[in-house]
Amino acid sequence: MCFEAKRLFRLALGPVLMLVSAVALAAGGEVNQVNMSPGVTEVSQEIYSLHMIILGICTIIGIGVFGVMFYSIYAHRKSRGHEPATFHESTKVEIAWTIIPFFILIGMAFPATSTLLDIYDNDDAEMDVLITGYQWKWKYEYLNEQGENVSFFSNLRTSQSEIYNTEQKGEHYLLEVDEPLVLPADTKVRFLVTANDVIHSWWVPELAVKKDAIPGFINEAWTRTTVEGVYRGQCAELCGKDHGFMPIVVNVVSKDEYNEWLGTKQSEAAQIKELMAQTFTLDELMERGKAVYDRNCLACHGAGGEGGVGTAIAGSAIATGELGGHLDIGVNGVPGTAMQAFGGQLNDVDMAAVITYQRNAFGNNMGDMVQPIDVFNFKKG
């Protein structure tokens, strides 16, 4: 009740808030935030002050223009008996209001140009991260000259039941991922941005980085964050059905913490390599497979394999048919449809598990299973 009343009060207050937007300089992601957030990098703060300068100039001009207009509406109305003047030109005035705005614009161009130069200064980066947009998730790859690259996908973590209103929405509804991008603080990080399918755009407002991810091309952007924290963003370019459901979470930590995290990721990668050589039991595969399914397949094929955007898996000819055909679809996808090639997205262990799961869940009691080595051999041809 109290909450509702507060909410209504805020709703009514909205238009007033805009007038005092200057007070809302606090950090981003706030409820009912009305202005751009200054962000946590030098560039984001430069952009913020540029934004405020231009907004200020526009406001002053606006007050002048509307002031004159409203004075005229008040004083020069026929109902007050005002007789119309007949003037209809004045060369002097017209030249003045052409030239003066021109000089104001030149004044704006200086700070704009210098900020743009900073945004484009991609040199001397201390580390590189390759960001690849997929329908509808992000892949991060740490390009490490010294050794093992670390790479992983970052998927939306918000559950379908939150989205479809059968469960209370969490604090970071739609802005939470299963695995965030982890970056060290006080380090110039260069992003190489590209896409696998359609155009996406990687945007984190607090970092003031927005760069289109274009299939077949690599764009550059950079950031250096001084403040540790969690920064959230979203895909900014319409990329199909789940465009609204591919958030970005950047976790900026101290350099030590970052190195520790990187070490863990590297040993995880080594572990996966070991797992590839192992043989699993059906139960192990089913357990792992369910987790992989929920993360990667559920959005299109449904929680019970009943289908949706994708075809049904329960009782499907593929999932209950010959194993090679099933592997082929999983690894290579179906070109021209929303079914992607998951061969490059899942490791062989996960692929083996999810295929096994699909063949033995939802009433598909095939009883057979796929081992990582089978996937490996299939990929080799």
Partner 1 sequence: MGDHHHGPAKGISRWLFTTNHKDIGTMYLWFSFAMFILGGAFAMIIRAELFQPGMQLVDPAFFNQMTTLHGLVMVFGAIMPSFVGLANWMIPMMIGAPDMALPRMNNWSFWILPPAFLLLASTLFMEGGAPAFGWTFYAPLSTTYAPPSVTIFIFCIHVLGLSSIMGSINIIATVMNMRAPGMTYMKMPLFVWTWLITAFLLVAVMPVLAGAVTMMLMDIHFGTSFFSAAGGGDPVLFQHIFWFFGHPEVYIIILPAFGVVSQIIPAFSRKPLFGYDSMVYATASIAFLSFIVWAHHMYTVGMPIAGELFFMYATMLIAVPTGVKVFNWISTMWRGALTFETPMLFCMGFLVLFTIGGFTGLMLSIAPSDFQYHDSYFVVAHFHYVMVAGAVFSMTAAVYYWLPKWCGRMYNETMGKTHFWISFIGFNLTFFPQHFVGLAGMPRRIPDYALQFADFNMMSSIGAFIYGASQILFLYNVIATIVSGKPTSEEKVWDGAEGLEWTVPTPAPYHTFETPPKIDPAHAHS
- The single-letter code of the amino acid at 66 is F
The tokens of 300 are what?
Answer: 């299109």
What's the closest the beta carbon of residue 151 comes to partner 1, in angstroms? 21
Considering only residues 96 to 125 of the shown chain, the ones binding partner 1 according to CB under 8 A are: 97-98, 101-102, 105, 108-109, 112-113, 115-117, 119-120
Q: Which stretch binds partner 1 (CB under 8 A): 77-85, 261-269, 277-285, 346-354?
A: 77-85
Closest CA to 251 of 200, 208, 204: 204
Buried b (16+ CB within 10 A) or exposed e, 72-93: eeeeeeeeeeeeeeeeeeeeee
Among 171, 256, 274, 283, which residue sits at the site for partner 1 (rule: CB under 8 A)?
171
- Indicate whether 230 belongs to the interface with partner 1 (CB under 8 A): no
Q: Can you tell me which of 235, 249, 351, 355 binds partner 1, judged by CB under 8 A?
A: 235
Provide DSSP, 155-201.
Answer: -B-S-HHHHTTSS---TTTTS-BSS-EEEETT--EEEEEEESSS-EE
Q: Which of 79, 146, 279, 281 binds partner 1 (CB under 8 A)?
A: 79
| Closest by Cα among 32, 54, 28, 57 to 41 | 28
Instruction: Work out how close the CB of 179 gets to partner 1 at its nearest, in angstroms, rounded to a whole number.
Output: 19
Residue 270 vs 334, nearer CB to partner 1: 334
Binding residues among 343-372 for partner 1 as defined by CB under 8 A: none
Asked if 15 is part of the footprint of partner 1 (rule: CB under 8 A), the reply reads yes
| Rounded CA separation 332/379 (Å) | 9
Of these, 26, 63, 65, 291, which contacts partner 1 (CB under 8 A)? Answer: 65
Nearer to partner 1 by Cβ, of 276 and 312: the residue is 312
Which position among 130, 185, 198, 318 is part of the footprint of partner 1 (CB under 8 A)? 198
Among residues 11 and 270, whose Cβ is nearest to partner 1? 11
* Binding residue for partner 1, selected from 5, 19, 86, 145, defined by CB under 8 A: 86
Nearer to partner 1, 54 or 291 (CB): 54
- Out of 27, 127, 130, 174, the only residue in the binding site for partner 1 (CB under 8 A) is 174
Residue 3 engages partner 1 in binding (rule: CB under 8 A): no
Buried b vs exposed e over 127-165: b needs ≥16 C-beta within 10 Å? bbbbbbbbbbbbbbebeeeeeeebebbbbbbbeeeebee
Gap between the terminal Cα atoms of the chain: 64
- Distance separating alpha carbons of residues 349 and 375, to the nearest angstrom: 8
Give residues 272-301 in contact with partner 1 (rule: CB under 8 A): none
Q: Is the CB of residue 279 less than 8 Å from the CB of residue 371?
A: yes
Q: Which is nearer to partner 1, 122 or 266 (CB)?
A: 122
Cis peptide before 202 (omega within 30 of 0): no
Nearest CB to partner 1, comparing residues 102 and 264 = 102
Compute the residue count for the chain: 381
